[in-house]
């Protein structure tokens, strides 16, 4: 097991214990529950799962909801740093600059480490998954590079990409629900990425994400925010030699895969961690899924 996977699984174990203790149920999940068996009855038996992680999360929650929005967002990032999910100072800076609260529907809990429903049978990923993907893609999100965000949803991660590649690069979001494209543009206009939406170095398009966005290919990095049964060939083709894609793959059981395209055009694929995402599918299938 990789060191990063061990950290994320430990992180999820603590979160699972906290949710079990409170009796909460997130609206949906992007990661498989990875708690050990002695976390399953945390409310009655497991003091090791109930004590320090529970107290730590209660302290975090109290701090978040008794402060202003910018402080809440900063506290969320600091918590991800404490758990080792964020190691890069650049990733921390970008996630502090792009306020997640601007990208979660009203009434949600944007700074709580859980995915949130955004309508249309879609979700915005949990903060730790966004952080993990930014960490994996950081070397391919340098100034002047091109990034594609498939299933851009509320626009949060696309805005983060835009800040990282800068106005000399291109950040492209693809989303097949027109209403989400329209609302994501409004979200971005309120954020630190607004100047790049205005100058065109950040754009969101209505399209089937399985086909990518060939007009601006090739991309130094591609992020896919929904699980495909297999990696779409169109996305591999649009990945630049030397580039990287992160994509969840699978149906019932899913793995976050890291796809690196070599300079000679060859492709290497490795599993990063087990995850649980909504499916990458057609617009009609998404809207009519149960």
**What pLDDT tens digit does each residue of the chain (290 aa) get?**
554 554 444 445 444 433 333 333 333 334 333 322 223 222 222 233 333 333 444 444 444 444 456 689 999 999 999 999 999 999 999 999 999 999 999 888 999 999 999 999 899 999 999 999 999 999 999 999 999 999 999 999 999 999 999 999 999 999 999 999 999 999 999 999 999 999 999 999 999 999 999 999 999 999 999 999 999 999 999 999 999 999 999 998 999 999 999 999 999 999 999 999 998 988 887 887 76
CA-based R_g, the chain, Å = 18
CA angle 282, 203, 245 (to 5 degrees): 60
Ranges of each domain in the chain: 69-286
Give pLDDT, residue 20. 31
CA distance 92 to 187: 20
- Contact present, 255 and 224 (Cβ < 8 Å): no
- Contact present, 45 and 38 (Cβ < 8 Å): yes
Cα separations (Å) of 103 from 37, 115, 183, 186? 35, 12, 9, 9
pTM of the model: 0.78
Give pLDDT, residue 290. 60
Give pLDDT, residue 289. 73
Q: Which residues contact residue 3 at a Cβ distance below 8 angstroms, ignoring those fewer than 6 apart? A: none
Q: What share of the chain is helix, strand, coil (3-state, %, to 5)?
A: 45, 20, 35
Nearest C-alpha neighbor of 222 from the set 209, 211, 235? 235
Residue 45 known to be catalytic:
no
| The pair of three-digit structure tokens given for residue 191, joined into one six-digit string | 């954020």
Q: Does domain 69-286 have CATH number 3.40.50.620?
A: no
Q: Which residues contact residue 152 at a Cβ distance below 8 angstroms, ignoring those fewer than 6 apart? A: 158, 173, 174, 175, 180, 181, 184, 204, 225
Give pLDDT, residue 201. 98
Q: Which of 16, 46, 114, 125 is catalytic?
A: 125
Give pLDDT, residue 61. 44
Q: Are strands 267-275 and 122-124 parallel, antiparallel or unpaired?
A: unpaired
Cα separations (Å) of 245 from 2, 156, 259? 19, 18, 5
CA distance 164 to 180: 23
- Contact present, 132 and 8 (Cβ < 8 Å): yes
Strand (E) or helix (H) holding 173: strand 170-175
């Amino acid at each position: 097991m990789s060191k990063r996977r061990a950290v994320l699984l430990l992180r999820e174990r603590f979160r699972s214990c906290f949710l079990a203790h409170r009796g909460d149920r997130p609206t949906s999940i992007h990661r498989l529950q990875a708690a050990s068996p002695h976390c399953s009855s945390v409310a009655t038996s497991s003091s090791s799962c109930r004590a320090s992680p529970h107290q730590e999360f209660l302290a975090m929650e109290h701090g978040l909801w008794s402060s202003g929005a910018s402080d809440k967002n900063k506290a969320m990032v600091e918590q991800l740093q404490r758990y080792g999910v964020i190691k890069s100072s650049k990733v921390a800076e970008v996630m502090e600059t792009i306020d997640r609260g601007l990208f979660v529907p009203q009434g949600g809990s944007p700074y709580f480490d859980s995915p949130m429903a955004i309508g249309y049978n879609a979700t915005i990923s949990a903060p730790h998954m966004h952080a993990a993907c930014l960490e994996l893609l950081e070397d391919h999100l340098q100034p002047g590079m091109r990034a594609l965000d498939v299933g851009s949803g509320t626009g949060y991660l696309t805005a983060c990409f835009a800040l990282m590649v800068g106005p000399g690069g291109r950040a492209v979001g693809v989303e097949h629900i027109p209403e989400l494209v329209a609302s994501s543009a409004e979200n971005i206009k309120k954020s630190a990425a607004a100047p790049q939406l205005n100058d065109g170095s950040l754009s969101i398009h209505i399209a089937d994400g399985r086909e990518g966005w060939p007009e601006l290919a090739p991309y130094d990095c591609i992020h896919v925010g929904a699980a495909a049964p297999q990696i779409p060939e169109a996305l591999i083709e649009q990945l630049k030699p030397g580039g990287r894609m992160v994509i969840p793959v699978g149906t019932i059981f899913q793995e976050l895969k890291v796809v690196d395209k070599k300079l000679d055009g060859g492709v290497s694929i490795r599993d990063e961690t087990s995850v649980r995402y909504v499916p990458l599918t057609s617009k009609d299938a998404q809207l009519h899924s149960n």
